Amino acid sequence: MILTSAKPTEDRIKCLLVDDVPENLVALEALLGSDRVEVLKAQSGPQALELLLSHGDVALALLDVQMPDMNGFELAELIRGSERTRHIPLIFITAGTREQSWQFRGYESGAVDFLYKPIDPHMLSMKANVFFELHERKRALARQLEERTEALRVNEMFMAVLSHDLRTPLQSIVMGAALLQRQIDPTRVASLAQRISQSGERMSGLIEDLLDVTRIRQAGGLTLAPTDVCMQSLVERTLDEVQAGFPERAVKAVFEGDLVGTWDGNRLCQVLANLVGNALHHGEPDVPVRVEADGTGSSHVVVTVSNGGTIPPSLLPHLFNPFRGGERRPDSHKGLGLGLFIAQQIVLTHGGSICANSIDGITRFRVELPRQLPALATRTA
């Protein structure tokens, strides 16, 4: 049987103890275990290897040398032989001989230290803390690298947007203005003016999306201006605006229960417009888009937007990632792959949740919102 300490939080440092004497494991755990350190205990080499398979990111392993079946040296060689575990610092502990040949074998097996019983508790604690601190620094550096890599990716995408997505409507505006200067036909002038206006609106929407991403990533998140609003009025207002561009498409709205809550109405209209717009853009034309607002719950309101069609399973886990690549088709959507990301951030700022699924030919987006905003979200823009 494998002995482990209580279930830890994800941020705790992991330390592996291997000794065939249970009393020694208890003593070492009492010395090294804390809210900061999760202790993994094994009474044999095979048990230790099993623990290493189920627990990644171990900061330190203390191995007893003299164990039956598999001694500490053999266990160390197996740990060092695996790409997944070879980075783990190993400290040997033994009550056996102090011959140099033992120490040499220990260091050859990959040990960073070799301690003899009886162990000085203060010395062992100090040595272990050095490795724990090094592990914390390694974690912090890994997080910084991941954050900077993501920031670089987003910056590169910003440049791609500026050089490509904004260029198209800008060219339309410039060309339209040039044509206007040579036109005298009022009908043609009106048509060109409408095209310029549409291109300007598209550019404004793209720029606003980029500004929202900047607010989310650099300014500490979106700010909200909450008021008491009714979800039914927000849905009806959004459908009037969005469906104007799809007069031939059927949209059915269903309302149930108390739909009043304290939310930022404009931001939630932004979420609804994105979900309904996507459903109209990408849904099967012969299947009506359905918007359901359920206020029967006492503390939450749930809004579901569904349409015909299926999202590929490989794409579902990445739907809410900003600047999604690979699935955008120039002929089918004019966005930047930011809409769902911004919608998710708006919902999360409201203290809610958003998810998507595609089952039996129907795609559904489900938004759940608490009726009252979290205290930290009640900032005004």
Could you read off the pLDDT of 222-231 as tens digits, one per residue?
Answer: 778 899 999 9
Instruction: State percent of the chain over pLDDT 70.
Output: 81
The 10s digit of each residue's pLDDT in 83-97 is: 888 888 898 888 766
Residue 291 has a pLDDT of 96
CA-to-CA distance for 217 and 319, rounded, in angstroms? 18
The confidence band for 207, taking pLDDT boundaries of 50, 70 and 90, is: confident
Spell out the residues 6+ positions from residue 144 whose beta carbon is closer than 8 angstroms to its own. none
- pLDDT tens-place string over residues 49-105: 889 888 878 989 999 888 888 888 888 888 888 888 888 889 888 876 666 666 666
CA within 13 Å, CB half, 121 = 8
Q: pTM of the full predicted structure?
A: 0.56
- Mean of all residue pLDDT scores within the chain: 82
Which DSSP symbol is given to 323?
Answer: T
**Mean per-residue pLDDT, 128-136:** 91
Q: What is the DSSP letter of 316?
A: G
Angle at 381 between CA 339 and CA 217, to 5 degrees: 45
Q: Which residue has the higher pLDDT, 152 or 166?
A: 152
Res 381 pLDDT > 50: no
Three-state DSSP class for 300?
strand
Round to whole Å and give the CA distance between 203 and 210. 11
Q: What is the DSSP letter of 94?
A: E
pLDDT (tens digit, 9 = 90+) per residue, 114-123? 888 888 888 8
Chain segment 297-338, per-residue pLDDT in tens: 999 999 999 999 999 888 888 888 876 544 444 444 445 567
